[in-house]
Amino acid sequence: MQIPLNDLKKQYLTIKDEVNKAISDCLDKANFVLGEAVENFEKEICKYNNSNFAVGVASGTDALVLALQVLNIKKNDEVITTPFTFIATAEAIYRVGAKPVFVDIKDSSLNIDAQKIQEKITKKTKAIMPVHLFGQPADMEQICKIAKANNLHIIEDAAQSLGAEYKGIKVSNFGIIGCVSFYPGKNLGGYGDGGLIFTKEKEIADKLKILRVHGAHNRYFYIVHGYNSRLDALQAAILRVKLKYLDKWNKARYNAAQNYKKLFSEIKQIILPTEEKNKTHIYNMFTVRFKGGEKVREKVINYLQQQGISSVIHYPLPLHLQKVYSFLKHKKGDFPVAEKVATQILSIPLYPEITLKEQKYVAYHIGKALG
């Protein structure tokens, strides 16, 4: 048996006719960048997410960069975020000239530890950028309180969490801006790159629509330094089809996660992902942690590979220890929880179409590798 981490082909086959028709309609119209498909998609995803405005861009990374720029975050500013995330979060902060300031994560949810944010706030702090990691919302109530008390923006990195809720409210609605990604492996994945920015305010949405087309407020008339960062019409057409299934797929991911939890419940060497109160977890990734650390993990990865089972480490090195951030002068021990988790964690196959039989196969072999 071959079990990939995420089976995009299997999902495509369930919606093939609908997607192919959407693509061929788009080709017939020969309108490839922005246009009607993107506008319709922006309307539909706003409705889905109960958000005010949506602006489609070229990637989730661009969504974060444009979000920071539209809020005028720049050189000499600081933005607080987590060191245990995909590089794009901190990269976006660096791109606008600001400094990423890391705060350690909670051992339970692996999201930013809200209790440790206040001590990192300085006169230069302009925003908090929480990441809703692996599909579970960060502690938005506490984060909103801190942001309000210190007059900071919140930009949510919801790249892995479109559809997840905190106290019944969809993520990306807590901050002034929320960013999502349509990278194929995300819960709502396109067939290429894409991203989108949600915002509460019309003024910000209007500015973002200028920024994504080179800063032009009218064609060939430029008022700011912008970007070429637009959502393709083809991606929008595909995403419009897929959006209709997102809740169903997120539920299937959740159910598959519960299966794993039962299957692993007897294995003492494993720490399972936690689901916190008042949050819906949509499991972009299902991660297990090996108490035995790197050596045990290495053994499991190799054994799984021999059995045809894919697994990936998200993430092997926290951002503060990455070479690219050496200028921040962090050292080992600065964020002990993130550092420990990085030695333990492993993402195992989970996608909406995974079968119980496949999950049993994965769980059986992980158990066997552990002895």
Ligand X SMILES: *Cc1c(COP(=O)(O)O)cnc(C)c1O
Under the rule (CB under 6 A), what is the footprint of ligand X? 59-61, 85-86, 88-89, 131, 157, 159-160, 181, 183, 193, 195
Q: Specify the long-range contacts of residues 367-371, CB closer than 8 Å, at least 24 apart.
A: 367/267, 368/303, 369/299, 369/300, 369/303, 369/304, 370/267, 370/269, 370/270, 370/290, 370/296, 370/300
Task: Write the CA distances from 21 to 156, 236, 265, 302, 368, integer angstroms.
Answer: 34, 13, 44, 42, 45
Complex with ligand X: residue 174 or 183, whichever CB lies closer: 183
Least distance from ligand X to the Cβ atom of residue 11, Å: 18
Angle at 78 between CA 76 and CA 81, to 5 degrees: 155
Least distance from ligand X to the Cβ atom of residue 157, Å: 5
Least distance from ligand X to the Cβ atom of residue 159, Å: 3
Complex with ligand X: residue 160 or 311, whichever CB lies closer: 160
Using CA atoms, how far apart are residues 92 and 120, in angstroms rounded to an integer? 19
Instruction: Determine the straight-line distance between the first and last CA of the chain, rounded to whole angstroms.
Output: 21
- Beta-bridge partner residues of 290: 270
What is the identity of the amino acid at 86? F
CB 75 within 8 A of CB 221: no
**Which residue sits closest to ligand X, CB atoms considered?**
60
Least distance from ligand X to the Cβ atom of residue 214, Å: 20
| Lookup: tokens for 128 | 């908090």
Angle at 333 between CA 156 and CA 77, to 5 degrees: 40
Rg (CA), the chain: 21
Least distance from ligand X to the Cβ atom of residue 264, Å: 24
| Lookup: tokens for 357 | 């039989």
Complex with ligand X: residue 68 or 131, whichever CB lies closer: 131
CB 183 within 8 A of CB 189: yes
Least distance from ligand X to the Cβ atom of residue 24, Å: 25
Complex with ligand X: residue 18 or 165, whichever CB lies closer: 165
Complex with ligand X: residue 88 or 354, whichever CB lies closer: 88
Complex with ligand X: residue 101 or 171, whichever CB lies closer: 171
Least distance from ligand X to the Cβ atom of residue 132, Å: 8
Strand order across the 177-181 sheet:
53-57, 195-199, 177-181, 153-157, 125-128, 78-81, 99-102
Complex with ligand X: residue 34 or 158, whichever CB lies closer: 158
| Lookup: tokens for 96 | 């606008």
Complex with ligand X: residue 190 or 226, whichever CB lies closer: 190
Complex with ligand X: residue 195 or 226, whichever CB lies closer: 195
Q: Specify the long-range contacts of residues 325-329, CB closer than 8 Å, at least 24 apart.
A: 325/90, 325/100, 328/99, 328/100
- Which single residue is written with the structure tokens 């944010």? 117
| Lookup: tokens for 339 | 């550092």
Least distance from ligand X to the Cβ atom of residue 185, Å: 8
Least distance from ligand X to the Cβ atom of residue 90, Å: 9
